[in-house]
Copies of this chain bind each other. A is one copy, B any other.
Amino acid sequence: MKAEIISVGTELLLGHTVNTDATHVARELSALGMDLLQVHTVGDNPQRLEKALREALERAEVVITTGGLGPTEDDLTKETVALVAEAPLEEHADSMARLREYFGTRPMSANQAKQAMLPRGSVAFPNLVGTAPGCATPAGEGRWVLMLPGPPSELLPMLHDSAVPFLRSMSGSVISSFMVKTFGIGEGVAALRIAGLTGSANPTAATYAGDAEMFVRVTAKEQDAAAAEALAAPMVAEVRKLLGHFVYGVNVAGLETVVVQDLARQGKTLATAESCTGGLLAKRITDQPGASDVFGYGMVTYANEAKERLLGVPHDMLCAHGAVSPEVARAMAQGARKYSGADYGIGITGVAGPGGGTPQKPVGLVYIALSDAEHVWLRVMRPQGRYLGREWTRRLASSHALDMLRRRLADLPVEDQWSLDQA
């Protein structure tokens, strides 16, 4: 079954908002085994939306719109769908009741009230977060337009609670997709290693470059989920074998997920001491529900004084080597571990830029240390080629820290094995 997405909003065309809505919807369509042909993004422009709708309905059985359902004057998606589907807008009693309940004793304006209007014959999707309901509108010949709101906090629950169940009843075959995630190997090298697999039609294998990570997606299409998974499994195993210990997980959210799980499984704990990453590592760890079982202490020691007082980094060491040095990274990792009593300590210190670089310690130079009771391991990020920005540098440094701990917990080599040259 074929689907298309039309995202509506001038803010998307001006680059003010990233279109995460399309990604969320695409992921669900894929899980349902529906074939997403394309995504269109148009502005708050009813003529262009109308044209996109008519064209999409020629190609696809299901067209999903995101955005343009709100109370403002340029929210015109429902009016346009009503026109294309030849279904006049009518007040939807349940939606109006819900809207009245939402406003309570506060006055409701006319533009608020228009949100309860839906094209005739629509199946309403209640909005449990905001004010604008969504709906599925029949558009002739067994085709449907599904309208979802733009703000992700409203779209996500409606997508999962209303739109996906609606679509499930329409769908046929099922796609099973496995993302093999790696850290430390380049896309070109990885593509060569798995070259023997990429010609296969079902299952398929393809490489994707993320920022400083590389993924291989294995996808199989079958009539039900179990058959699709069984078809994909041998290829997933082969990819894992070919990419070896660069693989940190399959269908996991990120390195932090694996590290928190592995720590919990082994009954170990971690404490962090961050300078240039400024809390990003602690944030990534505590993104995981249940992180409190393995993580009790995080220190963001941005000032040298904080490194001395919180972590016990010797004043003389800071004077002799400077805050950005292998010695201080090691002392931070050990200090965090000792102060907290955790099994592992991580220390990160570097120059995230864009300012603060010197010839000896350029922007992009970061030291990352991992310590346990016996050892301290160290990695060095050196500026390579062009500076990719503060965010990128901080992200990569925190990923190195997580990768070091992942490898330690799996008894793999920890230092320098991430280098492309040694792949």
Q: Identify whether the interface residues of A are mostly helix, strand, loop, or mixed.
A: mixed
| Cβ 8 A contact of A279, one of B15, B72, B286 | B286
* A17 contact set on B, CB distance < 8 A: 23, 208, 210
Q: Is the CB of A39 within 8 A of B23?
A: no
Q: Are B14 and A188 in contact (CB under 8 A)?
A: no
A30 and B280 alpha carbons, distance in the complex (Å): 31
Contact B18 A19 (CB under 8 A): yes
Given A72-B187, A151-B211, A279-B279, A23 and B30 contact (CB-CB distance below 8 Å): no
Which of B26, B129, B289, B340 makes the CB contact (< 8 A) with A353? B289
- Complex Cα–Cα for A394 and B386 (A): 34
A 6-43 to B, binary, CB cutoff 8 A, 1 in contact else 0: 00011111111111101111111110000011111111
Q: Is A116 an interface residue (CB 8 A)?
A: no
Question: Is A267 part of the binding interface, using a Cβ–Cβ cutoff of 8 Å?
Answer: no
Instruction: Tell me if A202 counts as interface (CB < 8 A to partner B).
Output: no
Q: Is the CB of B71 within 8 A of A188?
A: yes
Which of these, B26, B42, B70, B385, contacts A128 with CB under 8 Å? Answer: B385
Which residues of B lie under 8 Å from residue A305 when comparing CB positions?
A: 296
Bitwise interface map of A from 134 to 159 toward B, beta carbon under 8 Å scored 1, else 0: 00000000000000001111001100
The B-contacting residues of A in range 151-186, CB under 8 angstroms, are 151-153, 156-157, 177, 179
Residues B291 and A302 in contact, CB atoms below 8 Å apart: yes
Contact present for A298 and B290 (CB under 8 Å): no
Q: Is the CB of A27 within 8 A of B12?
A: no
Contact A300 B287 (CB under 8 A): no
Q: Is A358 an interface residue (CB 8 A)?
A: no
A278 touching B289 in the complex, CB below 8 Å, given contacts A179-B16, A208-B17, A209-B150? no
